Amino acid sequence: MSAMVQSGSDNGPVAGKRQVLASLLCRTRLIAGLSMLRSMLKRDLRILAYHRVLSIAEPDAFAFDLELISASEARFRKQMTLLRERYNPIRFGDVIRALESGTALPPRPVIVTFDDGYDDNYRVAFPILRELGVPATFFVSTGHVQSGLPYAYDWFVHVICRSAPGQLRIAALGVDCALPATIAQRRELAMDLLDRLKSLDAQAQQAVIATLEQEADLPRTRGHADCKPMNWDQLREMQAAGMEIGSHGVWHRMLAKLPPSEMHQEVHQSKQMLDGELALPVTTISYPVGGLDAYNEAVIESAKAAGYTLGCSYICGTNSLPFSAAFQLRRLPVERHMDEAWFEAMLALPEAFTYPSRHRAD
Protein backbone atom coordinates (compact mmCIF):
# COMPACT_ATOMS: atom_id res chain seq x y z
CA MET A 1 0.00 0.00 0.00
CA SER A 2 1.21 3.51 -0.77
CA ALA A 3 1.73 5.94 2.10
CA MET A 4 1.28 8.94 -0.18
CA VAL A 5 -1.82 11.06 0.33
CA GLN A 6 -2.84 14.55 -0.66
CA SER A 7 -3.37 15.88 2.81
CA GLY A 8 -1.34 15.81 5.93
CA SER A 9 0.81 17.64 8.40
CA ASP A 10 3.94 19.72 7.89
CA ASN A 11 4.83 19.38 11.54
CA GLY A 12 8.56 19.03 11.98
CA PRO A 13 11.01 19.21 14.85
CA VAL A 14 11.11 22.03 17.35
CA ALA A 15 11.92 25.32 15.63
CA GLY A 16 15.63 26.10 15.40
CA LYS A 17 17.38 29.46 15.49
CA ARG A 18 16.97 30.11 11.75
CA GLN A 19 13.25 29.44 11.90
CA VAL A 20 12.72 31.61 15.00
CA LEU A 21 14.68 34.52 13.54
CA ALA A 22 12.92 34.18 10.18
CA SER A 23 9.54 34.31 11.89
CA LEU A 24 10.54 37.44 13.82
CA LEU A 25 11.78 39.24 10.69
CA CYS A 26 8.64 38.38 8.74
CA ARG A 27 6.28 39.37 11.56
CA THR A 28 7.96 42.74 11.93
CA ARG A 29 8.15 43.16 8.13
CA LEU A 30 11.87 43.83 8.33
CA ILE A 31 12.53 41.08 5.81
CA ALA A 32 11.26 43.10 2.84
CA GLY A 33 13.58 46.02 3.58
CA LEU A 34 16.58 43.77 4.15
CA SER A 35 15.82 41.94 0.92
CA MET A 36 15.68 45.19 -1.07
CA LEU A 37 18.94 46.37 0.50
CA ARG A 38 20.64 43.10 -0.44
CA SER A 39 19.33 43.38 -4.01
CA MET A 40 20.90 46.84 -4.28
CA LEU A 41 24.26 45.57 -3.04
CA LYS A 42 24.44 42.21 -4.81
CA ARG A 43 23.23 40.86 -8.16
CA ASP A 44 22.96 37.10 -8.19
CA LEU A 45 20.96 34.15 -9.45
CA ARG A 46 19.16 32.00 -6.91
CA ILE A 47 18.49 28.38 -7.91
CA LEU A 48 16.09 26.48 -5.66
CA ALA A 49 16.62 22.71 -5.33
CA TYR A 50 13.67 20.40 -4.69
CA HIS A 51 13.33 16.63 -4.80
CA ARG A 52 9.77 15.60 -3.95
CA VAL A 53 6.48 17.35 -3.23
CA LEU A 54 4.29 15.09 -1.09
CA SER A 55 2.00 15.24 1.92
CA ILE A 56 2.57 12.31 4.27
CA ALA A 57 -0.24 11.61 6.73
CA GLU A 58 1.55 8.69 8.44
CA PRO A 59 5.36 8.94 8.35
CA ASP A 60 5.69 5.48 9.92
CA ALA A 61 3.93 4.00 6.89
CA PHE A 62 6.36 5.66 4.47
CA ALA A 63 9.34 3.30 4.22
CA PHE A 64 11.55 5.65 2.24
CA ASP A 65 13.72 8.71 2.84
CA LEU A 66 11.54 11.44 4.38
CA GLU A 67 14.30 14.01 3.92
CA LEU A 68 13.84 13.87 0.14
CA ILE A 69 10.38 15.38 0.61
CA SER A 70 11.00 19.09 0.07
CA ALA A 71 7.47 20.32 0.77
CA SER A 72 3.85 19.28 1.05
CA GLU A 73 1.45 20.21 -1.72
CA ALA A 74 -0.03 23.10 0.29
CA ARG A 75 3.35 24.46 1.32
CA PHE A 76 4.72 24.19 -2.22
CA ARG A 77 1.78 26.20 -3.55
CA LYS A 78 2.50 28.96 -1.02
CA GLN A 79 6.19 28.93 -1.90
CA MET A 80 5.53 29.24 -5.63
CA THR A 81 2.96 31.98 -5.01
CA LEU A 82 5.52 34.01 -3.07
CA LEU A 83 8.08 33.41 -5.79
CA ARG A 84 5.68 34.61 -8.46
CA GLU A 85 4.74 37.75 -6.51
CA ARG A 86 8.16 38.94 -5.33
CA TYR A 87 10.77 37.51 -7.70
CA ASN A 88 11.29 36.77 -11.38
CA PRO A 89 11.08 33.02 -12.01
CA ILE A 90 13.16 32.21 -15.10
CA ARG A 91 14.54 29.19 -16.99
CA PHE A 92 18.09 28.08 -17.69
CA GLY A 93 17.31 28.93 -21.29
CA ASP A 94 16.98 32.57 -20.23
CA VAL A 95 20.40 32.37 -18.57
CA ILE A 96 21.99 30.88 -21.69
CA ARG A 97 20.47 33.55 -23.93
CA ALA A 98 21.71 36.27 -21.58
CA LEU A 99 25.21 34.76 -21.60
CA GLU A 100 25.26 34.53 -25.39
CA SER A 101 23.88 38.02 -26.00
CA GLY A 102 25.62 39.82 -23.16
CA THR A 103 22.31 41.12 -21.84
CA ALA A 104 21.29 41.25 -18.18
CA LEU A 105 18.83 38.92 -16.50
CA PRO A 106 15.71 40.48 -14.98
CA PRO A 107 16.06 41.74 -11.39
CA ARG A 108 15.80 39.15 -8.58
CA PRO A 109 15.92 36.09 -10.87
CA VAL A 110 15.15 32.64 -9.45
CA ILE A 111 15.18 29.20 -11.08
CA VAL A 112 13.17 26.30 -9.61
CA THR A 113 14.78 22.87 -10.05
CA PHE A 114 13.90 19.28 -9.17
CA ASP A 115 16.39 16.42 -8.96
CA ASP A 116 15.91 12.71 -9.75
CA GLY A 117 12.53 12.66 -11.52
CA TYR A 118 9.96 11.23 -9.07
CA ASP A 119 6.44 10.90 -10.45
CA ASP A 120 5.07 13.24 -7.75
CA ASN A 121 6.92 15.99 -9.65
CA TYR A 122 4.39 15.42 -12.42
CA ARG A 123 1.34 14.56 -10.30
CA VAL A 124 1.68 17.21 -7.58
CA ALA A 125 4.24 19.90 -8.45
CA PHE A 126 3.63 20.33 -12.17
CA PRO A 127 -0.09 21.27 -11.93
CA ILE A 128 0.75 23.96 -9.36
CA LEU A 129 3.60 25.35 -11.45
CA ARG A 130 1.43 25.41 -14.57
CA GLU A 131 -1.47 27.07 -12.76
CA LEU A 132 0.75 29.79 -11.27
CA GLY A 133 2.83 30.31 -14.40
CA VAL A 134 6.12 29.41 -12.72
CA PRO A 135 8.63 27.55 -14.93
CA ALA A 136 10.84 24.84 -13.48
CA THR A 137 13.59 22.47 -14.59
CA PHE A 138 13.37 18.74 -13.89
CA PHE A 139 16.67 16.88 -13.83
CA VAL A 140 15.93 13.23 -14.56
CA SER A 141 17.93 9.99 -14.63
CA THR A 142 17.13 8.46 -18.00
CA GLY A 143 17.70 4.84 -17.01
CA HIS A 144 14.94 5.15 -14.43
CA VAL A 145 12.61 6.97 -16.82
CA GLN A 146 13.12 4.19 -19.35
CA SER A 147 12.84 1.24 -16.94
CA GLY A 148 10.51 2.52 -14.23
CA LEU A 149 12.89 1.14 -11.58
CA PRO A 150 13.09 2.83 -8.17
CA TYR A 151 16.27 4.75 -7.39
CA ALA A 152 19.08 2.72 -5.80
CA TYR A 153 19.63 4.97 -2.77
CA ASP A 154 15.90 5.04 -2.06
CA TRP A 155 15.80 1.27 -2.25
CA PHE A 156 18.71 0.98 0.16
CA VAL A 157 16.68 2.92 2.74
CA HIS A 158 13.53 0.94 1.90
CA VAL A 159 15.19 -2.45 2.39
CA ILE A 160 16.50 -1.45 5.82
CA CYS A 161 13.05 -0.16 6.76
CA ARG A 162 11.24 -3.29 5.54
CA SER A 163 13.65 -6.17 6.23
CA ALA A 164 12.51 -8.95 8.53
CA PRO A 165 13.67 -8.56 12.14
CA GLY A 166 17.20 -9.77 12.72
CA GLN A 167 20.83 -8.81 12.38
CA LEU A 168 21.99 -6.29 9.78
CA ARG A 169 25.46 -7.06 8.44
CA ILE A 170 27.14 -4.89 5.80
CA ALA A 171 30.85 -5.58 5.87
CA ALA A 172 31.79 -2.77 3.47
CA LEU A 173 30.24 -0.26 5.89
CA GLY A 174 31.49 -1.92 9.08
CA VAL A 175 27.94 -2.70 10.19
CA ASP A 176 26.89 -5.63 12.35
CA CYS A 177 23.90 -4.71 14.51
CA ALA A 178 20.35 -5.72 15.31
CA LEU A 179 17.71 -4.01 13.22
CA PRO A 180 15.67 -1.56 15.35
CA ALA A 181 12.02 -2.28 15.98
CA THR A 182 10.35 0.83 14.54
CA ILE A 183 10.32 2.40 11.08
CA ALA A 184 11.52 5.71 12.51
CA GLN A 185 14.53 4.05 14.17
CA ARG A 186 15.33 2.04 11.07
CA ARG A 187 15.08 5.13 8.88
CA GLU A 188 17.50 6.97 11.16
CA LEU A 189 19.94 4.07 10.91
CA ALA A 190 19.49 3.91 7.14
CA MET A 191 20.26 7.61 6.73
CA ASP A 192 23.52 7.24 8.63
CA LEU A 193 24.48 4.20 6.55
CA LEU A 194 23.49 5.94 3.32
CA ASP A 195 25.94 8.73 4.08
CA ARG A 196 28.65 6.13 4.70
CA LEU A 197 27.68 4.30 1.50
CA LYS A 198 28.23 7.43 -0.57
CA SER A 199 31.86 7.57 0.58
CA LEU A 200 32.55 4.33 -1.36
CA ASP A 201 33.32 4.19 -5.06
CA ALA A 202 30.34 3.70 -7.36
CA GLN A 203 30.89 0.00 -8.01
CA ALA A 204 31.22 -0.76 -4.30
CA GLN A 205 28.00 1.14 -3.67
CA GLN A 206 26.18 -0.94 -6.27
CA ALA A 207 27.52 -4.17 -4.78
CA VAL A 208 26.35 -3.25 -1.27
CA ILE A 209 22.83 -2.40 -2.45
CA ALA A 210 22.54 -5.52 -4.64
CA THR A 211 23.68 -7.79 -1.81
CA LEU A 212 21.36 -6.14 0.70
CA GLU A 213 18.26 -6.48 -1.45
CA GLN A 214 19.12 -10.10 -2.30
CA GLU A 215 19.62 -11.09 1.33
CA ALA A 216 16.37 -9.37 2.36
CA ASP A 217 14.49 -10.85 -0.62
CA LEU A 218 13.33 -7.36 -1.58
CA PRO A 219 14.44 -6.99 -5.22
CA ARG A 220 14.28 -3.50 -6.68
CA THR A 221 12.53 -4.94 -9.74
CA ARG A 222 9.47 -5.38 -7.52
CA GLY A 223 9.05 -1.58 -7.48
CA HIS A 224 6.89 0.45 -5.13
CA ALA A 225 4.14 3.05 -5.54
CA ASP A 226 5.96 5.43 -3.17
CA CYS A 227 9.10 5.55 -5.31
CA LYS A 228 8.22 5.76 -8.98
CA PRO A 229 10.06 7.78 -11.64
CA MET A 230 8.26 9.85 -14.27
CA ASN A 231 7.81 8.41 -17.76
CA TRP A 232 8.53 9.84 -21.20
CA ASP A 233 4.94 10.91 -21.92
CA GLN A 234 4.83 12.90 -18.69
CA LEU A 235 8.13 14.59 -19.49
CA ARG A 236 6.96 15.47 -22.99
CA GLU A 237 3.77 16.99 -21.60
CA MET A 238 5.71 19.05 -19.09
CA GLN A 239 8.19 20.29 -21.68
CA ALA A 240 5.35 21.25 -24.03
CA ALA A 241 3.84 23.27 -21.16
CA GLY A 242 7.00 25.34 -20.77
CA MET A 243 8.96 23.29 -18.24
CA GLU A 244 12.61 22.46 -18.90
CA ILE A 245 14.04 18.95 -18.72
CA GLY A 246 17.68 18.41 -17.79
CA SER A 247 20.03 15.47 -17.31
CA HIS A 248 20.74 13.75 -14.00
CA GLY A 249 22.83 10.98 -15.51
CA VAL A 250 21.53 7.56 -16.53
CA TRP A 251 21.40 5.64 -13.24
CA HIS A 252 21.85 8.42 -10.65
CA ARG A 253 25.42 7.40 -9.87
CA MET A 254 28.05 9.71 -8.35
CA LEU A 255 29.95 10.64 -11.50
CA ALA A 256 33.31 11.41 -9.90
CA LYS A 257 33.34 7.96 -8.26
CA LEU A 258 32.98 6.09 -11.56
CA PRO A 259 35.76 4.83 -13.84
CA PRO A 260 36.31 7.40 -16.63
CA SER A 261 34.62 5.31 -19.35
CA GLU A 262 31.49 4.74 -17.25
CA MET A 263 31.40 8.39 -16.20
CA HIS A 264 31.51 9.54 -19.84
CA GLN A 265 28.78 7.04 -20.69
CA GLU A 266 26.50 8.39 -17.96
CA VAL A 267 27.04 12.00 -19.05
CA HIS A 268 26.79 11.47 -22.82
CA GLN A 269 24.12 8.75 -23.03
CA SER A 270 21.70 10.61 -20.79
CA LYS A 271 21.83 13.64 -23.09
CA GLN A 272 21.53 11.52 -26.20
CA MET A 273 18.47 9.75 -24.85
CA LEU A 274 16.80 12.97 -23.67
CA ASP A 275 17.49 14.72 -26.98
CA GLY A 276 16.10 11.73 -28.85
CA GLU A 277 12.90 11.41 -26.78
CA LEU A 278 12.00 15.08 -26.28
CA ALA A 279 11.17 17.88 -28.67
CA LEU A 280 13.73 20.35 -27.32
CA PRO A 281 17.43 19.63 -26.74
CA VAL A 282 18.78 19.42 -23.21
CA THR A 283 21.24 22.15 -22.19
CA THR A 284 21.82 21.59 -18.47
CA ILE A 285 23.04 18.76 -16.25
CA SER A 286 22.71 18.32 -12.49
CA TYR A 287 25.39 16.08 -11.00
CA PRO A 288 23.78 13.25 -8.96
CA VAL A 289 24.28 13.81 -5.20
CA GLY A 290 26.10 16.98 -6.23
CA GLY A 291 28.61 17.50 -3.44
CA LEU A 292 32.34 18.07 -3.83
CA ASP A 293 32.90 14.30 -3.99
CA ALA A 294 30.26 13.80 -6.71
CA TYR A 295 31.81 15.79 -9.54
CA ASN A 296 35.24 17.08 -10.50
CA GLU A 297 37.08 18.71 -13.39
CA ALA A 298 36.94 15.50 -15.46
CA VAL A 299 33.15 15.39 -15.06
CA ILE A 300 32.87 19.05 -16.06
CA GLU A 301 35.02 18.49 -19.16
CA SER A 302 32.89 15.48 -20.11
CA ALA A 303 29.72 17.56 -19.72
CA LYS A 304 31.13 20.26 -21.96
CA ALA A 305 32.15 17.67 -24.57
CA ALA A 306 28.65 16.13 -24.48
CA GLY A 307 27.13 19.49 -25.44
CA TYR A 308 25.74 20.80 -22.16
CA THR A 309 25.96 24.55 -21.56
CA LEU A 310 25.42 24.67 -17.78
CA GLY A 311 25.95 22.34 -14.82
CA CYS A 312 24.42 22.37 -11.34
CA SER A 313 25.98 21.14 -8.11
CA TYR A 314 24.15 20.55 -4.83
CA ILE A 315 26.43 22.93 -2.93
CA CYS A 316 24.58 25.66 -1.05
CA GLY A 317 24.84 29.21 -2.26
CA THR A 318 23.84 31.69 -4.94
CA ASN A 319 25.58 32.63 -8.18
CA SER A 320 26.97 36.14 -8.61
CA LEU A 321 26.15 37.82 -11.92
CA PRO A 322 27.79 37.69 -14.32
CA PHE A 323 29.19 34.28 -13.35
CA SER A 324 32.17 32.41 -14.72
CA ALA A 325 31.63 28.98 -13.13
CA ALA A 326 28.85 27.91 -15.49
CA PHE A 327 29.35 24.22 -14.66
CA GLN A 328 29.47 24.63 -10.89
CA LEU A 329 26.24 26.49 -10.24
CA ARG A 330 25.20 26.52 -6.59
CA ARG A 331 21.68 25.96 -5.34
CA LEU A 332 19.50 26.58 -2.30
CA PRO A 333 17.98 23.32 -1.00
CA VAL A 334 14.33 23.48 0.06
CA GLU A 335 13.61 21.10 2.93
CA ARG A 336 10.33 19.81 4.35
CA HIS A 337 10.67 21.54 7.74
CA MET A 338 10.92 25.01 6.19
CA ASP A 339 7.81 26.96 7.10
CA GLU A 340 6.61 29.99 5.11
CA ALA A 341 8.69 32.51 7.08
CA TRP A 342 11.86 30.43 6.79
CA PHE A 343 11.38 30.00 3.03
CA GLU A 344 10.75 33.73 2.58
CA ALA A 345 13.83 34.58 4.66
CA MET A 346 15.99 32.09 2.76
CA LEU A 347 15.05 33.69 -0.55
CA ALA A 348 15.57 37.18 0.82
CA LEU A 349 18.83 36.54 2.72
CA PRO A 350 20.22 33.20 1.56
CA GLU A 351 23.59 33.70 3.26
CA ALA A 352 21.88 33.69 6.66
CA PHE A 353 19.00 31.27 6.21
CA THR A 354 20.04 28.46 3.89
CA TYR A 355 21.30 25.06 5.02
CA PRO A 356 25.10 24.78 5.07
CA SER A 357 26.56 22.22 2.68
CA ARG A 358 27.71 18.92 4.19
CA HIS A 359 30.96 17.43 2.89
CA ARG A 360 31.91 13.79 3.24
CA ALA A 361 35.51 13.00 4.05
CA ASP A 362 37.37 11.02 1.38
pLDDT in tens, 145-165: 999 999 999 999 999 999 999
Question: In the prediction, which pLDDT does 360 show?
Answer: 57
Question: Which residues face 247 on adjacent strands?
Answer: 140, 285
| 143 and 72 in a common domain | yes
CA-nearest of 162, 192, 199, 195 to 179 is 162
Question: In the prediction, which pLDDT does 10 show?
Answer: 45
The answer to whether residue 297 is domain-embedded is yes
The answer to whether residue 28 is domain-embedded is no
| 73 and 8 in a common domain | yes
| 251 and 188 in a common domain | no
Question: In the prediction, which pLDDT does 358 show?
Answer: 66
| 158 and 126 in a common domain | no
| 165 and 274 in a common domain | no
Question: In the prediction, which pLDDT does 15 show?
Answer: 54
Structural domain count of the chain: 2
The answer to whether residue 322 is domain-embedded is yes
Is there a contact between 134 and 84 (Cβ–Cβ < 8 Å)?
yes
| 180 and 110 in a common domain | no
Contacts of 23 (CB under 8 A, 6+ apart): 15, 339, 341, 342
| 303 and 156 in a common domain | no
Alpha carbons within 13 angstroms on the beta-carbon side of residue 330 total 20
The answer to whether residue 37 is domain-embedded is no
DSSP state of 229: B
How far is the CA of 362 from the CAs of 60, 203, 292, 293, in angstroms? 33, 16, 10, 8
| 143 and 239 in a common domain | yes
* AA letter at 33: G
| 261 and 158 in a common domain | no
On the 0-12 / 13-18 / 19+ scale of CB atoms within 10 A, 293 is middle
- Domain span at residue 277? 4-12+45-60+68-149+228-338
The answer to whether residue 292 is domain-embedded is yes
Residue 310 and residue 100: Cα distance in Å, rounded? 12
Question: In the prediction, which pLDDT does 8 show?
Answer: 35
Question: In the prediction, which pLDDT does 268 show?
Answer: 98
The answer to whether residue 348 is domain-embedded is no
Kindly report the number of other CB atoms within 10 A of residue 274's CB atom.
Answer: 23
Question: In the prediction, which pLDDT does 6 show?
Answer: 32
| 235 and 94 in a common domain | yes
Helices (H) and strands (E) in the chain, counts: 15, 15
Is there a contact between 43 and 109 (Cβ–Cβ < 8 Å)?
no
Phi then psi for 329, rounded to 5 degrees? Answer: -65, 135
Phi then psi for 147, rounded to 5 degrees? Answer: -95, -25
* AA letter at 143: G
* Spans of the chain, pLDDT less than 50: 1-14, 361-362
The answer to whether residue 114 is domain-embedded is yes
Final residue of a domain: which of 185, 201, 222?
A: 222
Residue 49 and residue 51: Cα distance in Å, rounded? 7
| 284 and 266 in a common domain | yes
| 268 and 255 in a common domain | yes
